[in-house]
């Protein structure tokens, strides 16, 4: 954010020496207007506004190198001697502590350009390497050498060195290109912020907020409305408050050096744990780069009072939010895992689940892919009756644009057949409509469940026929139990349970029922399947009820005061104000039933 503001105000401040009466107030007003324009177009997506990135950046770097060459040739070509590293030693020997303090300003000379390429994350590693080596680094080097040559003849122009070194006839074209380049660099930083927030959410380190994918082909092109408007408001407040590029530059310098040091630590870990590089080389990397970065860090830390506190304050705020959300979410998940209901307990209750089964389909929303959530036990205790068909629904988002409707739901049976309980994973792509009509959702779910039941019956019949054929081939006569798929017994376990060790419970078909291929199996030839499909249709005719948990997370009484404060107040506040996790359908309130539950962590 500090980088974007510094770029904007630096570009706009060029009008101060060109337009009479254009003072600091005018710079602030124009910068705010440009910021409003920039953040207003974010909703169209990077792909919509990114078509002008390459040509504008190309013109920007061509202008930098051309003006630099012009100044070198016109004012002092001897600046090329700066390539001699001995001048570094002479500079520190001559200026002492002033030279160390000057390193804080040098940070801005070696950073910022990476935002135009790497922060967008839409380019390959090779393209970034070629761009930096062949374009960015040479052009920036020539531009700074040209400004140094200009200062050799005009030492008092240090405050406006960039625009003063531009030939008068080229001022307005360069001003327009510089402003557009600043907008593009700021666009890169905004896109990078969106990407970081999305990754933090995926890792469970940030509260759930709305994410809009603006591209059907590139998953990384996203738009987060809440963060967009938050950044806009913060940028306007900072510009109106600081009113100076120097303080904003100090803030940006500290943020950039901090990113450098964190990157060095992370790359060292990658070299050690993933690349498994030689230990000597692993130690040389942080020693070499860390020493240089530490020298810059000590220089920029002296600017904390002059605007450097800004990134430290924002980073502390976001660190508290991310840590609190991750800490509370982990404790809540661990509580859910401990409170899972065992399948043996459900089987002990019997097909009635220890209550009355009434017609209807109950959709129990939860976040567990495996196991029976504790909220189901709360439902059994709280409700006087339970629906004849229970479906545990878990919504998952996968990294593809669309999920075909025939692949939307994955089903698995929970318990035995006469329990009529199923687990369903509803899969959505990042471009799928998540607030679809509840009627369409229910119809699709039932159709998919019917297909699952038919496929399950076909697989059981095929496996049974295969076992019979094997017995006939080896002419082994054995005692075979009655088929559990007969009309009077619906307690056949899951196919997966049979394959895991319950094959002895699989019987042969009745002699009067011919063995058919799985592709031609029909409900009329499988009474158990017909019975279950009919029960499903009756439940659907009685309607759907969405069973949701209204969970409250509280710290245990014996917990420390710090934990109680974080969980009971800060984490609870974030949960109340973040985006709902599973209530994504347009469901009438009359079809929703919420059950209160407290997670003691």
pLDDT tens-digit map of 326-377: 999 888 888 888 888 888 888 888 888 888 888 999 998 887 777 788 888 8
Q: Which of 156-170, 273-287, 368-382, 520-534 has the highest mean pLDDT?
A: 273-287
Q: Does residue 433 share a domain with residue 360?
A: yes
Within a domain: residue 164?
A: yes
Q: Does residue 353 share a domain with residue 256?
A: no
State the distance between the two ends of the chain, measured CA to CA, in whole angstroms.
Answer: 37
Question: Which 8-state DSSP code applies to residue 396?
Answer: E
pLDDT exceeds 50 at position 508: no
Q: Which two tokens stand for residue 203?
A: 């890792």
Q: Does residue 213 share a domain with residue 298?
A: no
Average pLDDT over residues 198-203: 82
Q: Does residue 213 share a domain with residue 255?
A: no
Tell me what the pLDDT averaged over the chain comes to. 79
Within a domain: residue 317?
A: no
pLDDT exceeds 80 at position 454: yes
Q: Does residue 358 share a domain with residue 300?
A: no
| Tally of domains within the chain | 3
Q: Does residue 291 share a domain with residue 239?
A: no
pLDDT tens-digit map of 223-271: 888 998 998 898 888 888 887 777 777 777 788 888 888 889 999 999 9
Dist. CA 161–CA 577, nearest whole Å: 48
Residues of the domain holding 273: 246-306
- Residue 224's Cβ-count burial label (10 Å; 0-12, 13-18, 19+) is buried
Asked which of 287, 306, 325 is the last residue of a domain, the reply is 306
What are the helix (H) ranges across 243-349? 245-273, 279-300, 309-338, 343-349
What are the helix (H) ranges across 350-499? 374-382, 438-474, 495-499
Taking only Cα atoms into account, the Rg of the chain, rounded to an integer number of angstroms, comes to 33
Dist. CA 60–CA 204, nearest whole Å: 40
Within a domain: residue 113?
A: yes
Q: Does residue 203 share a domain with residue 74?
A: yes
Percent over 90 (pLDDT), the chain: 10
28: CB partners within 8 A, 6+ apart:
9, 239, 240, 243
pLDDT exceeds 50 at position 497: no
Q: Does residue 181 share a domain with residue 257?
A: no
Length of the chain measured in residues: 601
Within a domain: residue 2?
A: yes
Q: Does residue 253 share a domain with residue 343?
A: no
User: Are 385 and 416 within 8 A, CB to CB?
Assistant: no
Q: Does residue 176 share a domain with residue 271?
A: no
Q: Does residue 256 share a domain with residue 223?
A: no
pTM for this model (two decimals): 0.72
Q: Which two tokens stand for residue 1?
A: 């954010």
Dist. CA 365–CA 595, nearest whole Å: 11
Cβ atoms < 10 Å from Cβ of 213: 18
Query: Which segment of 205-219, 316-330, 581-595 scores lowest on mean pLDDT?
Result: 581-595
Buried b (16+ CB within 10 A) or exposed e, 535-571: bbeebbeeebbbbbbebebebeeebeeebeebbeebb
pLDDT interval class at 583 (50, 70, 90): very low
């Amino acid at each position: 954010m500090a980088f974007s503001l510094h770029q904007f105000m630096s570009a706009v401040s060029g009008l101060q020496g060109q337009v009479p009466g254009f003072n600091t107030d005018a710079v602030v007003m124009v910068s705010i207007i440009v910021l409003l324009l920039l953040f207003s177009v974010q909703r169209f997506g990077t792909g919509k506004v990114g078509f002008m990135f390459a040509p504008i950046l190309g013109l920007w770097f061509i202008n930098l190198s051309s003006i630099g060459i012009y100044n070198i040739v016109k004012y002092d070509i001897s600046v090329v001697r700066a390539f001699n590293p001995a001048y570094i030693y002479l500079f520190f020997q001559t200026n002492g502590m002033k030279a160390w303090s000057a390193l804080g300003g040098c940070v801005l000379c070696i950073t910022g350009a990476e935002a135009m390429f790497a922060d967008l994350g839409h380019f390959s590693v090779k393209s970034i390497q070629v761009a930096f080596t062949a374009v960015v680094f040479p052009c920036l080097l020539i531009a700074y050498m040209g400004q140094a040559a200009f200062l050799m003849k005009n030492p008092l122009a240090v405050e406006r060195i960039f625009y003063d070194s531009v030939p008068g006839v080229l001022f307005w074209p360069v001003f327009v290109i510089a402003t557009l380049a600043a907008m593009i660099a700021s666009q890169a930083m905004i896109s990078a912020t969106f990407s970081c927030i999305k990754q933090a959410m995926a890792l469970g380190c940030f509260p759930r907020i709305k994410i809009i994918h603006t591209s059907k082909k590139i998953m990384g092109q996203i738009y987060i409305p809440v963060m967009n408007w938050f950044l806009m408001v913060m940028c306007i407040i900072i510009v109106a408050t600081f009113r100076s590029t120097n303080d904003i530059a100090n803030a940006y310098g500290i943020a950039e050096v901090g990113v450098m040091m964190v990157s060095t630590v992370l790359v060292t870990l990658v070299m050690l744990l993933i690349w498994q590089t030689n230990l000597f080389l692993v130690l040389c990397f942080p020693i070499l780069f860390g020493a240089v970065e530490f020298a810059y860090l000590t220089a920029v830390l002296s600017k904390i009072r002059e605007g450097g506190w800004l990134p430290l304050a924002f980073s502390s705020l976001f660190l508290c939010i991310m840590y609190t959300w991750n800490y509370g979410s982990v404790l809540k998940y661990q509580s859910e895992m401990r409170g899972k209901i065992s399948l043996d307990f459900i089987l002990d209750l019997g097909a009635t689940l220890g209550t009355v089964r009434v017609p209807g389909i109950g959709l129990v929303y939860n976040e567990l892919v495996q196991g029976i959530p504790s909220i189901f036990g709360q439902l059994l205790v709280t409700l006087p009756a339970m629906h004849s068909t229970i479906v545990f629904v878990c919504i998952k988002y996968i990294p593809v644009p669309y999920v075909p409707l025939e692949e939307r739901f994955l089903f698995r049976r929970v318990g035995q057949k006469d329990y009529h309980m199923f687990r369903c994973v509803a899969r959505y792509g990042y471009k799928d409509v998540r607030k679809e009509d509840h009627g369409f959702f229910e119809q699709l779910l039932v159709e998919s469940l019917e297909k699952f039941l038919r496929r399950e019956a076909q697989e059981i019949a095929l496996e049974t026929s295969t076992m019979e054929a094997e017995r006939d081939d080896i002419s082994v006569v054995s005692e075979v139990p009655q088929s559990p798929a007969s009309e009077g017994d619906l307690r056949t376990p899951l196919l997966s349970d049979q394959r895991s060790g319950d094959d002895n419970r699989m019987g042969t078909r009745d002699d009067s029922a011919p063995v058919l291929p799985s592709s031609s199996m029909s409900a009329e030839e499988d009474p158990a399947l017909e019975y279950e499909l009919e029960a499903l249709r009756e439940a659907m005719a009685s309607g759907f009820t969405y069973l949701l948990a209204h969970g409250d997370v509280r710290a245990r009484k014996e917990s420390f005061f710090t934990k109680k404060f974080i969980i009971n107040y800060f984490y609870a506040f974030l949960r109340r104000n973040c985006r709902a996790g599973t209530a994504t359908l347009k469901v009438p309130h009359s079809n929703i039933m919420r059950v209160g539950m407290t997670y003691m962590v």
